Amino acid sequence: MQNREPYMQKIIGNRYTKTKASFEKSLCLFLYQLGKKGKSLKTCLNISGLGMQFKGVKAVQNVSMNLEEGKLYALIGTNGAGKTTIINMISGVLKPTAGTICFQETDITGMRPDRIAKMGVTRTYQNLRLFKKMTVLDNVLMGAQMHSTCGAWESVFQTSRFRENEKSMREHARKMLDIMGIAAFEKEFAGSLPYGNQRKLEIARILASNPKLLLLDEPAAGMNPQESHELVDIIRGIQKEFGLTILLIEHDMKVVMNLCEYIYCMAAGEVIAEGGPEAIRNNPRVIEAYLGKRASHVTN
């Protein structure tokens, strides 16, 4: 059957496009409410038919995911599969060209990154984005500042409310450093820390913003096996302590299989498989995406 969508849009114009967008938004909210009714299914994030096109290149196409509250998820795939593009769309860095993203009861598709972050969706990046000439503690305070209610004048005149707020934020920031195991370095410059500790500092900073959904883009990149093992324990610990929903992009399969409860696997911009660690480990399409297809015969 031929695709009738271009024909329909030509006949009734923008009304069709607006009706379709309205339907997708309503469907997104319906799925959230459906998940909310069941005790075992509370949806934190729902992605429906998500797509991202850069001119003629389809980086992501028709991706749908459902993340339940308080669980650990992984998004895996080979380089160029579209994983980071998904994270960029969820966090507002990129505006999707198709589909919807719902965080809890709110459609956040195309929303500004700062608004999404204040709602509780925070992320790390593949490449470190620390303030290297600021102290470790000050870096974490940058995350805690997100929810500060003190205005400019209170800051200038150092009011009692401002001082109390600063004291509370510093205590909160030190707690995050302690959880990540780098509290002893709070007065050091961020750029002077070993690479593994810089990765931990980046996570401590986003934890200080009191997130509900944590998007971790290759947090174990560049770490040695011992540091990666330690990171697994830390992520599992913060997930349980704060009840966070976590979506992890990672190439280290030991980290993924030991940490995550549910895995989405991407290839060429599409989700090709999803399920628990064992199901993904033995999925033929996943094996083919990573290792290639076995040749049926070899000719000389």
* pLDDT tens digit at each of 300 positions of the chain: 455 555 445 545 555 455 555 566 566 655 555 554 444 558 999 999 999 999 888 999 999 999 999 999 999 998 999 999 999 999 999 999 999 999 998 999 999 999 999 999 999 988 888 999 999 999 999 988 877 777 777 777 678 877 888 888 999 999 999 999 999 999 999 999 999 899 999 999 999 999 999 999 999 888 888 888 888 999 999 998 899 999 999 988 889 999 999 999 999 999 999 999 999 999 999 999 887 776 555 454
Residue 11: per-residue pLDDT: 47
Residue 117: per-residue pLDDT: 93
CA 208, 181, 71 angle in degrees (round to 5)? 60
**Beta-strand relationship, 213-217 and 106-107:** unpaired
How many angstroms separate the CA atoms of 194 and 191, rounded? Answer: 8
How many angstroms separate the CA atoms of 223 and 220, rounded? Answer: 5
pTM above 0.85, yes or no: no
Residues whose CB falls within 8 Å of the CB of residue 37, separated by 6 or more in sequence, listed in order: none
First-to-last CA distance in the chain? 43
Residue 182: per-residue pLDDT: 94
Name which of 73, 81, 185, 80 is nearest 130 in CA terms.
Answer: 185
What are the residue ranges of helices labelled H in 152-249? 152-157, 160-179, 195-207, 225-242
Burial class from Cβ neighbours inside 10 Å (0-12, 13-18, 19+) for residue 287 reads middle
How many angstroms separate the CA atoms of 247 and 155, rounded? Answer: 36
- β-partners of residue 263 are 74, 275
| DSSP single-letter state for residue 84 | H
